[in-house]
Amino acid sequence: MEDIDFTHPIHIHFIGIGGISMSGLAHILLDKGFVISGSDRAPSPLTQKLEKMGCRIHYPQAAENIEPGTDLIVYTAAIHPDNPEFKAALASGIPMATRAELLGSMMKQYRYSINVAGTHGKTTTTSMVSEILMAAGADPTLSIGGILDSIGSNVRVGKSDIFVAEACEYTNSFLSFFPTTSIILNVRPDHLDFFKNLDNIRASFREFARRLPDDGNLIINTDIENWTYFTEGLKCHVITFGSDPAVSDYSAKDITFGHDGCCSYTLLYKGKPGTRISLRVPGSHNVLNSLAAIAAVRQMNISDEAIQKGISNFTGAERRFQHKGVYHGAHVIDDYAHHPDEIKATLDTAAHVPHREIWLVFQPHLYSRTKLLMDQFADVMANGADHVILAKIYAARETDNLGISSQTLADAVNARGGDARYIDTFEGIEKFLSELPLDNDLLITMGAGNVYQIGDALLSGTK
């Protein structure tokens, strides 16, 4: 696509404007004076916010939504070729671009573009970087994959030349980006419907690292297996973080847990102790996320005072071990985890929070992911939760053609000594939970779909 120019606004139409990333990009462009239209399946809080800003949004997606005079049409990977609006867009001859191509073009408008990549932890680490920069008065523009409580949104439009964004690897999206600083948090098997195997994922992340300019910065986790594979031949600055201070520029020592599961630690830089960091989000995995954020902002000469303040300001992004309330004496937690590594991190976090038993209500996300990672899912659930309730698989972009269901996963958990059951409706799950003695338990709803609605229904008193 031809690069957009903030000084010359045009009319851009978004097919699927209600997504967390698409809505954020539309928000930024509206603020820059662009004419924005879009479409989605149904209204949502994100689309309603855009409409209040002057965006024209059509429901549902339809061929007639493509307006003459539109300069550019943007679509996501979730839009299939048989989508009527997508087909009409192709036939119109109007230039088209993916969401990733638009985001990459927008990055070029900023002097500093910080990209946060990794199989897990992107939203949390992006949020930490954001809070630190705001605490330092750096006035960044932000595009986050979740709602950040302090700004009440997933997007912030600043007036500086700093842009912070998540960089998703799915369909190689981040290879359309133009960062000046990149963070690689971890590289694990995921999105295997696209990548097929871990080697393909690693190759994609290596190509992402190679997109940095010679004067750019790569912040990388030394806990990644054979991490030097990603840095070989790079001319940019390489800054490391990780668990081992012997091989990492940034690491931590004297890690302690508070009663809420949040960690404090002494920051180490090249083995030398520095300031004390106190997190306000639970889980030991967030120590590494915070080290990555600190390493990135220190390349911009952000002070330790601003780092401490920003880290303290971050109390969590929406759907990241989010405490929703108390139901029948149980603390209701909601979490976006949908990969075995993420589930393990969340359950490890829960283990450090006072409780009697852990009830995990999990909604698998995608048939392909569930089938390909079945053993890993079953292992972490059997070992990390006292009881597991499985909802129907959330299909998202897929169709059920792999011959599995959540019952398959329940059987695998039980074969490992766990206690799992499949209940095929949210109403059934809510009724089951409403009849349990839950006093002093943790009730965790988990998944990338709409499983959070179960906890909301229980807490609202409808069940």
Closest alpha carbon to 70 in 46, 107, 39: 39
Spans in the chain with pLDDT lower than 50: none
The pLDDT score that the predictor gives to residue 399 is 76
The pLDDT score that the predictor gives to residue 463 is 52
The pLDDT score that the predictor gives to residue 461 is 81
pLDDT in tens, 219-237: 999 999 999 999 999 999 9
Q: Indicate the pTM of the whole model.
A: 0.85
Packing angle, helices 452-459 and 426-434, rounded to 10 = 50
The pLDDT score that the predictor gives to residue 223 is 97
The pLDDT score that the predictor gives to residue 353 is 85
- Core vs surface per residue 340-350: b (16+ CB within 10 A) or e: bbbbbbbbbbb
The pLDDT score that the predictor gives to residue 114 is 98
The pLDDT score that the predictor gives to residue 77 is 78
Would you name the residues annotated as active-site residues? Answer: 122-123, 166
pLDDT in tens, 312-353: 999 987 788 889 999 999 999 999 899 898 999 899 889 888
The pLDDT score that the predictor gives to residue 402 is 77
The pLDDT score that the predictor gives to residue 15 is 97
- Work out whether strand 250-257 and strand 262-269 pair parallel, antiparallel, or are unpaired: antiparallel
The pLDDT score that the predictor gives to residue 192 is 74
Adjacent-strand bridge partners of 11? 35
The pLDDT score that the predictor gives to residue 462 is 56
Q: Return d(Cα 126, Cα 21) in angstroms, integer.
A: 13
User: By the 8 A CB rule, do 26 and 17 touch?
Assistant: yes
What is the H or E stretch that residue 291 is in?
Answer: helix 285-298
The pLDDT score that the predictor gives to residue 237 is 98
User: By the 8 A CB rule, do 30 and 54 touch?
Assistant: yes
